[in-house]
Structure 1
């Protein structure tokens, strides 16, 4: 009888029992709580010595030899919810506080910032071909996807109409009605140039505001500061669009009020103008014609208020939610495509597979070498930061992390001193030596960690790294 590999649940159950019955299980469980339920902990080996520099005496020594398995596990601190929900939740909470502080104050921002004009702006990608979508009518009821009065077929013989009322979880959402009609090269190149489109948008925005005030751009910074916080979101069709908070401040940032002429109306006019004024050109290469890339026609600008549907809390929560996501909703990979991968066997949707294939194809052309499409094929060409902000918008993620680390050190660390009087040299030399051993957990350890901490398990690509 041939050998049959045990089912993964049997492997996980056996692994759980083995870990649970080890003598060091309690110590291992405490470390799982210390990492916050991290699903992909980093494994380190080494230690820390606290030394009196005057006498060279070792005041305190920590070694991972006392840890379970002789390894210290620390949180991975990733922002991706698909890799580690526990660490991503911390990143989401930090992003929420960062965005909210720029709207209501706090974290070093005065509460007078609530009087500054601010808007929630959405910039989208253009169409590269009709896709299945969930549409609602004026009454809020779901209507047909792509009804066409005369029906008919495209040049590839596929129907151009879709009369299905798609449910919210329909796997066809975002998929092209005709994949052969969809402009995959245009979609990939647009994703690759989306960060540059945003940069040009911000420049055009400042130019418009300066011109409206009768100023030169270099003179604008003396009377007004444009602050923003932005996040990128993938639509199901595989194109990114940007959500941003744009705020008008006085010179220097949120500490000063903007001039009286800096109004919500001016902000909206500047967004509408700038979104339609900028573009990026790409050259012809192979069978790909020269293209001009611009924002889509759907530009949404809504003022942020302290009451109503679009409050500062709602905006901060919306932006923070997408700061922890990548291209998972498109059905693509959560890791880079390797040279050894067989594209046909990757666990992705057919639409994502064609987008990835187009990234690999265009990435091999000299004209697009600078776009690094091959390296970012799993992100469908987009290689920008998912969450960015201007310098003076509010605090930074680094400061929030530093404050949390300082708080934890005060709460949990014991003070190590030389014991000399305060007016003597009481400095302690800290010498650390670490070696990286790997990352992750076994299936059983992952299940135990989730049970002990109440944190969800990640949904990883089974062929992932």
Structure 2
């Protein structure tokens, strides 16, 4: 039997030549090329509040949208959706920058005159890893393994001796890093109060500690934190900082709090309790005009806004990366199928094993099920495990299996104090308000004279074919390059 042959057809070209391509492309451009858009079906209308009639645009089209639309997935990870990851990073940039230079997002310009620090806190060493070291003059020196590593060498960040690497300590530190940061801010307030001659209770009546923190994965698979820390008056950014609050005092308090912060783990299976602390390396940089010689423009003018933009860009550069799996792990066998390094797999295996349940002590007093003559055979019902045979392990509160795909990191990638600047929610609402006001201006009406009909139901997620996905990725890349070009040509400072 001879199978019929078909001519080679360019699937991308066939999709572009389809009758509905222009309409599909417009919808994808509206979500900036999102790779996993949420498909919604429903209706949106602007109607006259008095008559109920649908308003008409100047070109005669009704002010309504019906049928199918796309909504962005909003995923932070660049490996999942570059378009939405870009949006997240851009919002993070605006959030960070507003708290540094002020003058936008409801933050007054006066914050630029307050004591501000850019602080990087790192994790301790859990064992030597391959790295690319340089001297102060920039000269490359060999790794401890004797090799000069290229900057993209996949061995960078991998243990030189995997068997001696402290994977348990790595996982437990990572799982407690959020708690370690909270403890650090508490210690920082105490040291600031002590330096000012105040009690911790009195400190809140004189000053407020404001901060924004971004988590970033190092290549060895452990988190470190970039943070902008600012000293405000008691009412926040709009309130004057007390005279005793200087950048030098704040830097000394950060140094002391860094050395003073520790947390303890729950008791492990062998009864051992670990004490966790920050790594020895801490980078504290005042954000002030004294550093601005690096950011002078062509005329030699120093711009505080340029400093703020640089710090915000550096602080948010890692928000779209995870160095691990994109989705939760459901079984230990799934770890072996991941396309990542053996080092990262061992971190995830360790997290999975540490988060495992243990044998019920009432059903299995010996610790394991004994085939044939186990005490559990003589128990009709066990209230401890409900006849499941297992109970949560000593580290159950850490949810290590749930966060195994994140190498046991359980925190948010960007968090901030309440008074630092705006919020992600407010940024989204500002965009919605801007679009709504655009529609009102086009129609020549005001918000108090119209009623909005807005009802949508989700029908599916993702593009319908590989061709659509590839085209959406191209649209996302073109949108990114256009934005970069526009930013480079419009920015004057």
TM range (shorter): 0.7 to 0.9
Q: Does 1:443 align with 2:469?
A: no
Give the structure 2 partner of residue 104 of structure 1: 101
Change beyond 3 A, Cα 1:166–1:431:
closer
Tell me the SS of whatever aligns to 2:395.
Answer: helix
Give the structure 2 partner of residue 432 of structure 1: 455
More divergent stretch after superposition (441-450 vs 163-172): 441-450
More divergent stretch after superposition (114-123 vs 249-258): 249-258
Q: Is the 8 A contact 1:185 1:288 kept in 2?
A: no
Give the structure 2 partner of residue 144 of structure 1: 142
Residue in structure 1 matching 2:112, options 93, 111, 114: 114
Q: CA deviation at 1:214?
A: 1.3
Q: CA deviation at 1:52?
A: 6.9
Change beyond 3 A, Cα 1:216–1:62:
same
Tell me the SS of whatever aligns to 2:40.
Answer: strand
Q: CA deviation at 1:454?
A: 3.7
CA-to-aligned-CA distance 1:369-422 (integer Å, 9 cap, x gap): 1111101111000010000111111122222221222222333578789x9xx9
CA distance in 1, matches of 2:204, 2:35: 45
Change beyond 3 A, Cα 1:288–1:174:
farther
Q: Is the 8 A contact 2:44 2:452 kept in 1?
A: no
Residue in structure 2 matching 1:303, options 281, 286, 297: 286
Residue in structure 1 matching 2:81, options 84, 95, 111: 84
Q: Which has the larger radius of gyration?
A: 2
CA-to-aligned-CA distance 1:144-165 (integer Å, 9 cap, x gap): 111xxxxxxxxxxxxxxx1111
Give the structure 2 partner of residue 383 of structure 1: 410
Change beyond 3 A, Cα 1:309–1:221:
farther
Give the structure 2 partner of residue 210 of structure 1: 193
Give the structure 1 partner of residue 226 of structure 2: 243
Q: Is the 8 A contact 1:120 1:245 kept in 2?
A: yes
CA distance in 1, matches of 2:82, 2:18: 27
CA distance in 1, matches of 2:332, 2:166: 27
Tell me the SS of whatever aligns to 1:342.
Answer: helix
CA distance in 2, matches of 1:94, 1:63: 27
The equivalences for 1:3-22 within 5 A come to 14-22=10-18
Q: Which portions of structure 1, spanning 4 or more consecutive aligned residues, are displaced by more than 4 angstroms?
A: 49-64, 412-417
Q: CA deviation at 1:359?
A: 0.9
Change beyond 3 A, Cα 1:26–1:379:
same
Change beyond 3 A, Cα 1:173–1:453:
closer
Unaligned runs of 5+ in 2: 56-61, 296-306, 358-392, 481-493
Give the structure 1 partner of residue 338 of structure 2: 346
Tell me the SS of whatever aligns to 1:392.
Answer: coil
Q: CA deviation at 1:436?
A: 3.8
Q: Does 1:43 align with 2:39?
A: yes
Q: CA deviation at 1:252?
A: 0.8
Give the structure 1 partner of residue 434 of structure 2: 407
Q: TM-score, with normalisation over the residues of structure 1?
A: 0.83
Q: CA deviation at 1:58?
A: 7.1
CA distance in 1, matches of 2:222, 2:23: 46
Residue in structure 2 matching 1:189, options 172, 189, 194: 172
Pairwise CA RMSD: 2.8
Q: CA deviation at 1:452?
A: 4.2
Q: Is the 8 A contact 2:96 2:212 kept in 1?
A: yes
Q: CA deviation at 1:208?
A: 0.8
CA distance in 1, matches of 2:452, 2:26: 28
Tell me the SS of whatever aligns to 2:35.
Answer: coil
Give the structure 2 partner of residue 157 of structure 1: none
Q: CA deviation at 1:114?
A: 1.4
CA-to-aligned-CA distance 1:185-228 (integer Å, 9 cap, x gap): 11011000000000000000001111111111121111111110
Give the structure 2 partner of residue 95 of structure 1: 92
Unaligned runs of 5+ in 1: 4-9, 66-70, 147-161, 458-465
Q: Is the 8 A contact 1:94 1:397 kept in 2?
A: yes
Q: Is the 8 A contact 1:231 1:388 kept in 2?
A: yes
Q: TM-score, with normalisation over the residues of structure 2?
A: 0.78
CA distance in 2, matches of 1:198, 1:252: 23
Give the structure 2 partner of residue 156 of structure 1: none
Change beyond 3 A, Cα 1:217–1:133:
same
Q: Is the 8 A contact 1:77 1:87 kept in 2?
A: yes
CA distance in 2, matches of 1:412, 1:35: 18
Change beyond 3 A, Cα 1:288–1:314:
farther
Q: Does 1:337 align with 2:302?
A: no
Tell me the SS of whatever aligns to 1:271.
Answer: helix
Q: Is the 8 A contact 1:96 1:320 kept in 2?
A: yes
Tell me the SS of whatever aligns to 2:70.
Answer: strand
Tell me the SS of whatever aligns to 1:321.
Answer: coil
Q: CA deviation at 1:82?
A: 1.9
CA-to-aligned-CA distance 1:53-97 (integer Å, 9 cap, x gap): 8777777795654xxxxx321212222222222222222222212
Give the structure 2 partner of residue 126 of structure 1: 124
CA-to-aligned-CA distance 1:331-368 (integer Å, 9 cap, x gap): x2122112385332221110011001011101114111
Q: Is the 8 A contact 1:450 1:456 kept in 2?
A: no
Q: Is the 8 A contact 1:86 1:455 kept in 2?
A: no
Residue in structure 1 matching 2:348, options 349, 356, 378: 356
Q: Is the 8 A contact 1:232 1:243 kept in 2?
A: yes
